[in-house]
Structure 1
């Protein structure tokens, strides 16, 4: 049985904001009681609208942010506090791929120097060996020697993301947290980067936490998917099953918005209103103000997870009285 490499146990993260300039502090719950497990060599996708807590969950998984409650295990060991020697040693095995490649690169340094920098920081090998390692990694991601001497602004968006990927992989990590890694790229370049990432995952046996709002990409790269809404997981299961037969009303709405090439547009489920303010979270099920099948119980009681016969977990009061939707193509 494949071992677990990353475990999130009941993690929660809140921030404080003020009502008005001199108002009282109000907590904003970005992540609320999230538990997930990633198997070594596999990909878990984390999907949801902007502001649902996906990126914060990814940062907590890497120890870049400390949860207010709960804990994170990497290969069975709890993450040490950030910026401690133990945390830095552990972070060599865990890396982050940013959404905006240009924001992740130093505009003053050549691509070669930036890819080599982690080896310099950890004083691994001689200077010539570091250069050779960096050049080999650039080649592995599809960049050549001419790109090595370039500055970030001289590269295209796809080339910049390849450089970011090379920098993340130079330490041979076991885990990559990919935070919307292709959302800033056009469709043709997206496909190239996604295919490259999948090839590298097989070659290096990488484990990926793939944060995205693009369900087409999610279906291509992941084995399991967790759907987040307002800081909580509302549905979790095998990706193909979850996307072809969604159960939670929110998941159904997300899947209905995915266009299908060569097919007439199917009826899209339009959600009512905007996502609630995290500082004024609705009582009970947070989704109930936008849900077409909400009932009085949804307003009063927060739903717990139920396990369906197909192995999926769903947090919805209606799960026992409303069967999963019919299979849809995505």
Structure 2
């Protein structure tokens, strides 16, 4: 059996925002009662529209932000308090890849300096060997020594993302949280970076929490998938099973939006309206104002994520009733 490396149990995270220029502050839940497992050596994809709470979940998972409720456990132990010595030690085993590689890099430092920097910060390895370790990792991600002295502005988008990946991997972490790591890249470069991630995962035995809205990439890289809507998980299961036979109406709409050769355009499910304001969350199922199958109970009762016989889980009153969406 595969062991669990990262466990989120009932985590919630809220923020205060001001309504209008001079309005009062209100709190909204960006993440609401989310439970997930990432297994050793495997990839869990977290998908959903912008504003669904995916990135916040990733930051809470790494201990970059504390949850208001719930627990985060890494290899069976609760995450230490943020900025404590124990937290800093464990962060060498948990790293993040951000969406914008240029923003994630210091434009004043060479690529080699930035890949070596984590080794210096955490005092890993003999001082005289750290540069060689950094160069070895640059080679491992496909950036030769010729790029080592370049500044970030002298590299292409794909090369910068490789540099960010090298910096994250130089400490040999066990877990990577990838927050939309290819969305800012051209399609051809996306494929290169995804293939590189999969190759490195295989060689290093990495576990990935892969945050994305691109289901084509998710199908390629992940074994399990969690679909998120307005801070809650609405469907969870094996990637191929969920994408081949989605059950939740929201998941069906996401899957139908992916272009498939030979599939008529009228097969796409077009949702009405925009995602609700998180600060004015609808009662009951948050998806019910946009759902073509919503019933009266959907507006009043929050559906619970219910495990099915196939091992997947869905949070939907319609699915639970046996009237599976067509």
Question: Is TM (by shorter chain) over 0.5?
Answer: yes
Question: How many residue pairs get matched?
Answer: 326
Q: What is the rounded CA distance, in whole Å, between the counterparts of 2:323 and 2:178 in structure 1?
A: 33
Q: Per-residue deviation at 1:202?
A: 0.5
Q: 1:306 is matched with which residue?
A: 306
Q: 1:93 is matched with which residue?
A: 93
SS in 2 for 1:92: helix
Q: 2:148 is matched with which residue?
A: 148
Deviation string, structure 1 residues 159-213 (Cα, Å, up to 9, x no partner): 0000000000000000000000000001110000000000000000000000000
Q: Per-residue deviation at 1:27?
A: 1.0
Conserved 8 A contact 2:233-2:305? no
Conserved 8 A contact 2:45-2:209? yes
SS in 2 for 1:46: strand
Which range is displaced more, 262-271 or 40-49? Answer: 262-271
Q: 2:8 is matched with which residue?
A: 8
Conserved 8 A contact 2:13-2:30? yes
TM-score by length of 1: 0.96
Q: 2:53 is matched with which residue?
A: 53
TM-score by length of 2: 0.97
Conserved 8 A contact 1:245-1:325? no
Q: 2:161 is matched with which residue?
A: 161
Q: What is the rounded CA distance, in whole Å, between the counterparts of 1:161 and 1:138 in structure 2?
A: 11
Q: Per-residue deviation at 1:18?
A: 2.4
Q: What is the rounded CA distance, in whole Å, between the counterparts of 2:244 and 2:301 in structure 1?
A: 29
Conserved 8 A contact 2:318-2:324? no
Q: What is the rounded CA distance, in whole Å, between the counterparts of 1:201 and 1:8 in structure 2?
A: 22
Q: What is the rounded CA distance, in whole Å, between the counterparts of 1:325 and 1:26 in structure 2?
A: 36
Q: What is the rounded CA distance, in whole Å, between the counterparts of 1:318 and 1:324 in structure 2?
A: 7
- 1:1-330 alignment runs, 5 A limit: 1-261=1-261, 263-265=263-265, 267-324=267-324
Q: Per-residue deviation at 1:2?
A: 1.2
Gaps spanning 5+ residues in structure 2: where?
none
SS in 1 for 2:267: coil
CA 1:219–1:233: 2 relative to 1, 3 Å: same
Q: What is the rounded CA distance, in whole Å, between the counterparts of 1:165 and 1:96 in structure 2?
A: 9
Q: Per-residue deviation at 1:125?
A: 2.5
Gaps spanning 5+ residues in structure 1: where?
none
